[in-house]
Structure 1
Amino acid sequence: MAAGAERKPVLEMVQANGSDDSCVTFVLHEEDHTLGNALRYMIMKNPEVDFCGYSITHPSESKINFRIQARSTYTRP
């Protein structure tokens, strides 16, 4: 990497204004279905998770939008 060049973040957390903490979207850069499907499978094993899914924005981009929605009674550790 060239000196002074900025690195893109690997993971970003995106949350709509006014939404509660039970639903959040993550953006994973430089990833594809390999990580997305495995991560979705493992997260859905948690009984407190109502929904977990991902989408790839465009085939030419290596970026995943990953959404998790937990029960409203669940609080983050």
Structure 2
Amino acid sequence: MAAEGEKKPVLEMVQADGGDEGCVTFVLHNEDHTLGNSLRYMIMKTVDVDFCGYTITHPSESKINFRIQTRGKRHY
């Protein structure tokens, strides 16, 4: 948790230990369906992307869990 006066990160990358190298989850803070759906649409246009989706953890939180799965290694 950020201390008082510190800025909270807008974007975090979450990678499970021993997880698939072509799959990663990002956490976007202070965002909602407007960015989530638009970003998902544009990323799915990429040929190497197998899956892209997002969830909003709870309606009272403005945070998105955004998951991308690609064919092969990471492309970011």
Q: What TM-score comes out, normalization by structure 2 length?
A: 0.89
Task: Look up the SS of the partner of 2:59 in the other structure.
Answer: coil
* Percentage of identical aligned residues: 74
Using the TM superposition, name which of 20-29 and 49-58 deviates more.
20-29
Runs of 5+ unmatched residues, structure 1: none
How many residue pairs end up in the alignment?
Answer: 73
- Partner secondary structure for residue 31 of structure 1: coil
Counterpart-to-counterpart distance in 1, 2:7 and 2:33: 23
C-alpha separation in 1, matches of 2:47 and 2:6:
39
Which amino acid in 1 is paired with 2:7?
R
Q: Which structure is larger by alpha-carbon Rg, 1 or 2?
A: 1
TM-score, structure 1 length as denominator?
A: 0.88
Q: Mark the runs of 5 or more structure 2 residues left unpaired by the alignment.
A: none
Q: Which runs of 4+ in 1 moved over 3 A?
A: none
RMSD across aligned positions (CA): 1.4
